[in-house]
């Protein structure tokens, strides 16, 4: 597999999403549901937000991929999330786990710990969250201290590389680490997606929307291609939206407009590096 092959797969995935309008339901952060849904719609997908245990199992059955984000938890999620993840695993469906603020709170810790047995095909988080999750799942020979601060990362993407690869080796899926340059890996290959905008840090829900977009592409592509396609789409749209935005509010609107009008070729040709991991 080389860079040109990857570009072709990204183009295929994005065109398929625009043609088929796949639904990628979410159980997600209540602070960001609007931006998550609008991002999924702008990319050509369809959105649905669910909360109850039977709803989670139902969408796991009817959708090709689901997005699970633990950003804001309700007591009912102690039933909803495990039942949804279990059903997704039983059916062999793609799903995206966003381990927001891992390490904060008893229920969050229990849910994220239990997700280990369901092996999420795609995991998206910032560097601190990815390191913390690898530690929680005991996947690192030497535990690395992670300084999770709410939804913010205090580590760099490069510092999370070892943890991301370790998670992939266990899940046989993909990990996407968000940062100034996004890292995407499946344990065999590494991709670094460039672009984006500093204005992403000035709006609520950029990371959540990226997770939701990853789920949309996961309806039509492998975990690695889906995660990379989402980062490429985000970084292309973010960098171009910044050029016409006057501030955070207009940036969010411009981002959705650029994502909506971007071609598969433009997204695939966004600057990224690609390399094979030498074992």
Binding region: 49, 124, 178, 205
Question: Of the candidates 265, 194, 185, 276, which has an alpha carbon nearest to the alpha carbon of residue 234?
Answer: 194
**Cα(13)–Cα(48) distance, rounded to whole angstroms?**
21
Question: Of the candidates 200, 210, 173, which has an alpha carbon nearest to the alpha carbon of residue 95?
Answer: 173
**Cα(209)–Cα(159) distance, rounded to whole angstroms?**
24
Q: Which residues are annotated as a binding site for substrate?
A: 49, 205
Q: Classify residue 144 by its DSSP letter.
A: P
Per-residue burial over 201-231, b = 16 or more CB atoms within 10 Å of its CB, e = otherwise: eebebbbbbbbbbbbbbbbbbbbbbbbbbbb
Whether 112 and 129 have beta carbons less than 8 Å apart is answered as no
Whether 26 and 48 have beta carbons less than 8 Å apart is answered as yes
Helix ranges (H only) for the chain are 3-20, 33-42, 53-62, 77-91, 106-114, 127-136, 161-171, 206-218, 223-244, 248-261, 264-268
Q: Which residues are annotated as a binding site for ATP?
A: 124, 178
- How many other C-beta atoms are found inside a 10 Å radius of the C-beta of residue 75? 8
């Amino acid at each position: 597999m080389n860079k040109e092959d990857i570009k072709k797969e990204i183009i295929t995935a994005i065109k398929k999403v625009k043609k088929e309008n796949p639904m990628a339901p979410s159980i997600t952060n209540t602070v960001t549901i609007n931006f998550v849904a609008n991002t999924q719609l702008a990319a050509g997908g369809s959105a649905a937000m669910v909360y109850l245990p039977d709803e989670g199992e139902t969408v796991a059955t009817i959708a090709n991929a689901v997005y699970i984000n633990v950003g804001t938890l309700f007591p009912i999620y102690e039933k909803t999330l495990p039942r949804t993840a279990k059903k997704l695993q039983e059916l062999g469906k793609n799903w995206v786990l966003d381990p927001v603020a891992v390490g904060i709170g008893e229920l969050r810790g229990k849910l994220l710990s239990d997700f280990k047995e369901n092996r999420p095909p795609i995991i998206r988080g910032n560097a601190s969250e990815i390191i913390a999750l690898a530690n929680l799942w005991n996947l690192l020979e030497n535990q690395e201290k992670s300084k999770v601060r709410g939804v913010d990362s205090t580590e760099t993407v490069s510092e999370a590389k070892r943890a991301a690869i370790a998670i992939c080796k266990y899940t046989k899926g993909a990990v996407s680490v968000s940062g100034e340059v996004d890292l995407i890996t499946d344990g065999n290959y590494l991709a670094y997606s460039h672009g984006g905008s500093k204005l992403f840090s000035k709006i609520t829900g950029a990371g959540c929307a990226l997770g939701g977009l990853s789920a949309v592409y996961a309806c039509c592509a492998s975990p690695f291609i889906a995660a990379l396609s989402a980062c490429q789409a985000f970084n292309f749209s973010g960098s171009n939206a910044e050029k016409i935005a006057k501030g955070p509010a207009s940036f969010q609107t411009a981002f959705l407009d650029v994502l909506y009008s971007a071609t598969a070729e433009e997204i695939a040709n966004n600057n990224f590096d690609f390399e094979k991991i030498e074992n």
